[in-house]
Amino acid sequence: MKNVHIVPHMHWDREWYFSTEESRILLVNNMEEIMDMLESNPDYPYYVLDGQTSILEDYFAVKPENKQRVKKLVQEGRLIIGPWYTQTDEMIVGAESIVRNLLYGIKDCEEYGDFMRIGYLPDSFGQSAQMPMIYNGFDINYSIFWRGTSERHGTDKTEFYWQTEDGSKVLVQLFPLGYAIGKYLPEEEEALQKRMDKYFTVLDRGATTENIILPNGHDQMPIQKNIFEVIEKLRKLYPDREFFLSKYENVFAEIEKQQDLPTLKGEFLDGKYMRVHRSIYSTRMDIKAANTRIENKITNLLEPLASLAYSLGFEYHHGLIELIWKEIMKNHAHDSIGCCCSDKVHREIINRFFLAEEKVDQLIKFYKRKIVDSLDTQKQEDRLTVFNLLPYERNEVTTTNVITKLKSFKLVDKDGNELDFEILESEIMDPGLIDRQIVHYGNYDPFYNYTIQFKETLPAMGYKTFFVSESEQKTPSSVSKADKVDTDFYEITVNSNGTLNIYDKKLKQLFENVLLLENEGDDGDEYDFSPLPNKDVIYSDQVNAAVKMNQNRYETTIEIDYRLDVPSNLEKRKLKEIDNSVEIHMNITVPNHKPIINCKMKINNHAKDHRLRALIPTNIASAFSLSDNQFGLIKRPVIDPAIHVWEQEDWDERPDPIYPMLTYAGLSNNDYGVSVLTNSTREYEITGENFDTLAITLFRSVGFLGKEEMLRRPGRPSGIKLPTPDSQMIGKQTIDFAISTHTHEANLARIAKEYLTPVETYNKIPHDAMKLNNSGIKTPLSFSLFKEVEPNVVLSTLKKAEKENNLILRFYNPTNEEKQAAYELPHETEYAVLTNLNEKPHEELELKNKQVQIVVKENQVKSIMF
């Protein structure tokens, strides 16, 4: 007899086409009904609260008096909560964000009882290949999802093991028809049988045991009060099946008895049976870029800096940092970060990112100030302290500002060595902008704000201080106009249309027409790009660009301005009428000392219904691209083989090779590689006749949440057909990325990490509008917390442990072979242990001369607590 496990649940999008406040009102109503049912009816054993604790946070903000009721139900195992804080996206959300989502979700659960030990993401748009490793890091061995699989991954069954390269493994229960097939089950027998006959055929075909799941819930769905009457009808209609209320864990217990389940590897991005929206990664690029930027600031700057401060005796502000993480994780749900929402919801999302970034920036500044204010010195001069937040020494060019009343100055370290620097520009500052108290007491003497540039070796994971002293002679600037870039690595000229010709001196390769822009009509929606039937592409090859180039001792700066003429909208595009434009301003900096070309692109868009991409030719005809996912490297085909059969096989959407990246994407052959590093866009495609060009999406401009019958996605609309004029992206936005050329064996994740971890500085002067008392702590003038011994792995982050007075050092191996990680820890270190991602110790490490050495498998993450 087949067992049908009816699992009561609700899928709770905190926001979508409706706002968070609208859903909160429904939540307050639904929670009362759920608790009443569980408390009053012993035959109603379980209710799954969608696997995310933000639901409880929203509820208790209104009904704090019900915490004990919830706690009792959770401890009885009847109200099932967690493990997530919010149901995260897996494709464009960074590794540390996903880890913190589980970390804080499980922490929230601990206040009430246990958490559901299932990686439950029933609606995420595709599944990252690294999720089993992340789940195992939290002692989670089960996973439930819906989207992204098909039989071409190795099985047509809905139960299988899913394994990562490092050997981590979870048992998967797939929802082949989604999480809502048991929504609003009708009591009327004919309607009930018609629906269930259709579903049982699919569920039975995929099952490996006599157990199947009927999830009884839907988006924002209230509890089904007549479920017992419906079960009686089901028993009557299907006497060969057993129907009962259950929970997901009961099904896993049965599946685990199977001995011969298939094992699958890799990411799941197939849109054969359910849509995964492979071009959603570029919708609302302003929001996507804000997320990228803030994630990188938290993990690369704030947390390591807070750890430095903590090791020097200052408080590590867990509460403030958790607030920031939760602010951005509210945006990490699939609809929110996918940006397939209404305009009013996107306004709420962008505001959360604004608040999160303000918190990050101010906390970074606060920690720098606390350290520099407390320097152990009798000198009265102003200070410039330079922070390196990578675990190795850096000989880096730094551009920063020094504010002083001195008309000329020098920078001197603690040993009296003078720093060689250049002044790029200077301006007079009103003293009231520094501290209004200065002018309040009648002092109007101006300050000078100098932009300076220098190259200096900085200690690993630490800082170095210089004193700002009066000088008799002014430091000259050597900025001069140039007509080409000539560095240790590149010769670069700018074409009349604003594209670059780059000659790599080390690789002996010429790359022509780099940063050509490609503009194409977009008849899509917030979920997917959709070209017009007669493909129309406009390139920037005919524009007239204004170019300014300045070179100094350390770098060359190129400013490129032009207007790309495009049609106003789809109607004009179909008529081939070009009556509007996109204004482009590129600020390109090329340092002399390393092979990287930094590009900040400011775009002012005036047109609707189009997509803009930047093209980076590589001269590498490729079958595969290289990119990163969470804690790893992923290799993807430049053409998805299913592109040739998707229509015959009736796929839900065309499998275009448009892919997500987190920090880089590139092409490589046996001689060299070319990559794009990103601090904004996370979408790329490999294009060109020989598949030799990186196409980086700068933005998409669309006017509807969902549309029906699209060229690459036939059938019903995704979501609903709601106008979203804000998603046309009219106005200004900034895209930050860089181009790097390298040898084929280069560790791209390390190159990207360095790009995304700029040197930080703090200039202490005697004035600040926000006063702080003396900390009573004395900090050294220069400091290094620890350093790596082998350059084999990549730092993910450094943070204080949540529950212990120790630091967590997390790193990963993003290569396809085993590596050894080695770190020299602080001399005060008494012990070091390996922990899981949940920060629970599981293996003490041997400390030899304060060094730890650990073997790290391919695409594996490790955490050390010390």
Report, as residue numbers or ranges, the catalytic residues: 123
Report H helices in 43-94.
54-60, 67-75
3-state class of 387 per DSSP? Answer: strand
Identify the CA nearest to 753 among candidates 679, 854, 673: 679
Decide if 264 contacts 164 (C-beta within 8 A). no
600: three-class secondary structure by DSSP: strand
What's the number of CA atoms in the CB half-sphere (13 Å) around residue 239? 1
Kindly give, in sequence order, each residue whose CB lies less than 8 Å from that of residue 569, ignoring residues fewer than 6 positions away: 607, 608, 609
Decide: 625 and 635 in contact? Cβ < 8 Å: yes
Strand partners, 710: 713
Q: CA angle, 101 as apex, 96 and 103 as ends, to 5°?
A: 90
> What number of CA atoms fall less than 13 Å from residue 13's CA on the CB side?
22
Residues sharing a CB contact under 8 Å with residue 274, sequence separation 6 or more, in sequence order: 146, 147, 148, 178, 652
Non-local (6+) Cβ contacts of 389 within 8 A are: 300, 301, 304, 305, 308, 461, 757, 760
Beta strands 841-844 and 500-504 are unpaired
DSSP string, 727-743: GG--EEEEEEEEEEEEE
Name the token pair of 253: 């217990």
Query: Is residue 602 exposed (0-12), middle (13-18) or buried (19+ Cβ within 10 Å)?
Result: middle
- Going along 159-231, which residue ranges are E strands? 159-163, 169-174, 211-216
Contact partners, residue 190, CB within 8 Å, separation at least 6:
none
Contacts of 573 (CB under 8 A, 6+ apart): 521, 532, 536, 567, 609, 610
Contact 14, 253 (CB under 8 A): no
Find tokens 């359910």 and name the residue.
Answer: 274
* First-last CA distance in the chain: 54
Burial of 547 (0-12, 13-18, 19+ CB in 10 A): middle
Question: In 42-130, which residue ranges form alpha helices assigned H by DSSP?
Answer: 54-60, 67-75, 95-110
Rounded Cα–Cα distance for residues 449 and 429 (Å) = 6
Contact 249, 255 (CB under 8 A): no
Task: Judge contact between 612 and 519, C-beta under 8 A.
Answer: yes
Tell the residue number behind the tokens 């092409």, with chain if given. 667
Asked if residue 600 lies in contact with residue 586, where contact means CB atoms within 8 angstroms, the answer is yes
Q: How far apart are CA 709 and CA 292, in angstroms?
A: 32
d(CA 99, CA 628): 16
DSSP letter string, 489-541? SEEEEE-TTS-EEEEETTTTEEEEEETEEEEEE----SS-----SS--EEEGG
Whose tokens are 């490297």? That residue is: 633
For the chain, give the number of residues: 866
Between CA 610 and CA 73 the distance in angstroms is 51
Residue 469 Cα distances to 321, 421, 463, 475, 477, angstroms: 36, 13, 19, 13, 19
